[in-house]
């Protein structure tokens, strides 16, 4: 964790124990957590901490480029500590998001870029994860046994 604190000191943000707990959770958590998930975790250590503290800390980290805000879940914002270029795969049932670390060399034709200088891309894949697919198969099996 000392290495992480040094890294975040370079951001010139105040490193309170609550913020360090948030940063620690993000560094160890690759599930693309929401604000409420992060709050639930950190609130166990700091019961007096407000939801606004978590939200404001995450916004500060996004502004400093240390985490990415994901908007692929319409119900809630998710946060990704991996700021390297990568794509995502989302289960449409349970909303689980996983990283896809493959490069897809796409280019936008000049006549479609509307004068933009394209700096990168982000592809979002959607599907049903194996766990949700298994649950669906079990539910169908139970239904067929009833009928």
Domain boundaries, the chain: 1-83, 84-147
Task: Please say whether the structural domain 84-147 has been given the CATH code 1.10.645.10.
Answer: no
Full DSSP string of 117-147 = -------EEEE--HHHHHHHHHHHHHHHHH-
Strands 87-91 and 124-127 come out as: parallel
Task: Please say whether the structural domain 1-83 has been given the CATH code 3.40.630.30.
Answer: no
- How far apart are alpha carbons 139 and 132 in whole angstroms? 10
pTM metric for this prediction = 0.77
User: What is the band of 103 on the pLDDT scale with cuts at 50, 70, 90?
Assistant: confident
Same fold, 1-83 and 84-147: no
Please say if the pLDDT value at position 78 is more than 90.
yes
- How far apart are alpha carbons 55 and 52 in whole angstroms? 5
Residue 34 DSSP class: B
């Amino acid at each position: 964790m000392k290495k992480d604190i040094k890294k975040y000191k370079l951001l010139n943000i105040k490193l309170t124990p609550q913020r360090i707990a948030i940063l620690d959770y993000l560094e160890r958590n690759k599930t693309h957590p929401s604000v409420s998930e992060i709050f639930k975790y950190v609130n166990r250590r700091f019961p007096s901490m407000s939801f606004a503290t978590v939200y404001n800390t995450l916004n500060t980290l996004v502004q400093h480029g240390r985490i990415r805000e994901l908007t692929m879940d319409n119900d809630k914002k998710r946060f990704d500590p991996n700021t390297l270029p990568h794509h995502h795969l989302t289960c449409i049932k349970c909303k689980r998001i996983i990283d896809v670390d493959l490069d897809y060399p796409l280019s936008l034709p000049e006549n479609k870029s509307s004068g933009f200088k394209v700096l990168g891309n982000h592809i979002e894949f959607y599907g049903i994860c194996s766990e949700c697919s298994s649950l669906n198969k079990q539910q169908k099996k139970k239904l067929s046994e009833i009928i």
